[in-house]
Amino acid sequence: MLRVIIFAPLIGAIILGLFGKKMSERLIAAIACSSIAVSAIAAFAAFLELVGKSPDPDGIRRVTDTLFTWISVGTFRADFAFMMDPLSGVMILFVTGVGLLIHIFATAYMSGEDSYYRFFTYLNLFMFMMIVLVLGDNFLMMFVGWEGVGLCSYLLIGYYFLRDYAGDAAKKAFIVNRIGDFGFALGVMLIFYHFSSISFIDKPGIASVFTQAANKPVEALSTSALFAGGLTTIGILLFIGACGKSAQIPLFVWLPDAMAGPTPVSALIHAATMVTAGVYMIVRSNVLFSKAPMALTIVAIVGALTAFFAATIGISQWNIKKVLAYSTVSQLGYMFLACGAGAFAPAFFHVVTHAFFKALLFLGSGSVIHAMHHDEDMRNMGGLSKYLKITFFTMGAGTLAIAGFPLLSGFFSKDEILWKVRSSTVLPGSLGTVLWLLGMVTAAITAIYMTRMMVITFFGEERFRNKKHDDHAHGHGADNQGHDDHHGADNHGHGATPHESPLAMTLPLIILAILSIVGGFVGVPEGLAEKFVPHSLQGITHSFYAFLAPVITNPVIPGNGGEAIAADHSAELVSTILSSIVALVAIGIGYAVFKGKPMLQMPSVLENKYYIDEIYDAVIVNPLKFISTYGLWKFFDVVVIDGTINGLAKLVTLIGVGFRQLQPGITRLYAAFIFGGAIFAIGWFFLTIIRR
């Protein structure tokens, strides 16, 4: 069953890549979607088998499949093998399920593209790589999928490769991810150095990385531990890799530019799959991090700062996809904040709920963009609620979920994160309180900028009838401008009345909206469940954490599932009420402010993203270009290397020219040489005799 999950998308990608150019759009869509559907069905079947399976000796349920031993050198062994346990089982359910919905949406959204088959080839290949990342049973298999999704994201972001902004965004994503991947690779090497294994599960003759790590002592909470080459160093190196994939400070700059790809790419890569890979890897390695409190502290601080930093940028953006992009960066920051506080299970729960509402919001924005003739600038929208009713209500559900509206999915996961940070026994001193406060402020900003997006897009004046802004002209991550205009408008869509998207696009929105509303009830916090949920149902409402508990065990951080459990559920209830009030007030502020002033201009420093790209260009990119051009190329390459090689060639040429003068073809000159040589030989002979 695991092989079916993994290889079905690969088979689809191969068929489409080899023969798709001659296929009709309908056949391409059928092959692309059916391959993911097969994978999703197999994933659900394998998950049901996993649930009914007896635990292994270590208390964890697993379904495993070893195809062959890939590398075996000395004590190093890496199997080409796959594993489904509670963590990867939950992950693969929403990766394949949400991935299928996005594929269905894309069949209509990308209709009319010249390279329709190429898009779905890349999309299927991406799904294959993501599944390998999730189901691999060792760090090397994870790294194969890790690099594979990096390659596929480069191809998908640069899908419109004839446009400079798309090519630049793809290169930026690829290069920034390589920086993080270098740290991840070093971390895996250091893991093997310490444990002589890179496997997640015990193998014959050698225990797994996590089994061995559980018996290691806890390292000191000090900066010296960062460079000691132990578990703290491993944790930091792995986190560097996660910062690249999951867009954390300072490697977050690629994700907003990645909106240059088609909107279904944004929904797939930047909501449900690739960007959460870093969080998945940290949660998978929770035993390693639990022994390195300094690494956990750094993860928490970086996550909190990223969440706040990205939220303040998101409130000032005009491109609808850019708003959601910075929202993604911010929500990923929440997940890392939870991991750093030792709340690995709540962090992963937010991964799941985020996949629902963020995929919904991205696809909803795609429906809006489709109706707006592929214009992404919210200043050209307004009043769309009466034309796009399904899109409006479904995006409204996603907005309320991410804003933390009570009883929606984002409310439960975000509230659990904030409480675990506040009550964490892992973070030193009062750091937990400080980061909790920063998280609450970020939650308020999130509710405000998401309400701003909805108000500017769906309420007020119908500004699309008289456009004044052209976001595409500046290359701000615009989506495809090459779609045929089927609605009778001019080239910019002026004068056309927007209308609802087809069923293939609205059906995924409806399903994701339902999941965004009810998906949080499997992870109701214990404090809330104890007060409001009947005892007979508490097993269901806390089933998510109970299911993950055997995988996320932590001998250092007290409590079930590696979480800092609050002894006082009353305090947790107070925190929940406070976060609910913050969310509701922030939504009200956002509606009141932007309903009256939808074109309210934010500070330029926010709209220009704190000039981070310009700073990186000035401090890193341009100096490297200068060194590369004038140091490595024009001096070292041209002068030193080429000069040495060309100089030797010229020397040999000069020597050859000299010797060539000895062979001019003049007979009397040859006779003179012979005569001179004979005199020299006779003279040397007589000189030798005289000396004797």
In DSSP notation, 549-593 reads TTTS--SSS-SGGG----S-HHHHHHHHHHHHHHHHHHHHHHHHH
The reported pLDDT for the residue numbered 572 is: 81
Supply the pLDDT for residue 222: 84
Backbone angles phi, psi at 203, to 5 degrees: -115, 160
Strand 76-84 relative to strand 63-73: parallel, antiparallel, unpaired?
A: antiparallel
DSSP run (H or E) holding 78: strand 76-84
The pLDDT value given to residue 690: 84
* pLDDT the model gives residue 442: 96
pLDDT of 483 reads 42
- How many whole angstroms from its chain centre is CA 432? 26
pLDDT value at residue 557: 46
425 burial (CB, 10 Å; 0-12 / 13-18 / 19+) is middle
Question: Is residue 271 within 8 Å of residue 350, measured between CB atoms?
Answer: no
pLDDT at position 604, please?
87
- Identify the pLDDT of residue 423: 86
Of 90, 640, 608, 662, nearest to 351 (Cα)? 90
Report the alpha-carbon distance of residue 395 to residue 517 in Å, rounded.
Answer: 11
pLDDT at 496: 67
465's CB contacts (< 8 A; 6+ apart) are 494, 495
Number of neighbours of residue 96 by Cβ within 10 angstroms: 27
In this predicted structure, what is the pLDDT of residue 571?
Answer: 78
Mean pLDDT, each 10-residue run in order, the chain (692 residues): 95 95 94 96 95 87 92 86 94 94 94 91 96 95 95 94 91 94 96 93 89 89 85 96 94 92 89 89 94 94 96 94 95 95 93 94 94 90 92 96 93 91 88 94 96 94 75 42 39 64 94 94 80 72 86 55 50 86 95 92 90 93 92 92 92 88 81 89 87 76
Residue-level pLDDT at 106:
94
In this prediction, residue 84 carries a pLDDT of 95
* pLDDT at position 488: 36
Take residue 138 and report the two structure tokens written for it: 């060792």
Token readout for 660 is: 């060539």
- pLDDT for 237: 96
**DSSP result, 451-463:** HHHHHHHHSS--G
pLDDT value, residue 498: 87
* Alpha-carbon gap, residue 174 to 466, rounded angstroms: 38
For residue 472, the model assigns a pLDDT of: 47
- Contact between 506 and 388 under an 8 Å Cβ cutoff? The reply is no
The Cα 310–Cα 617 span in angstroms is 19
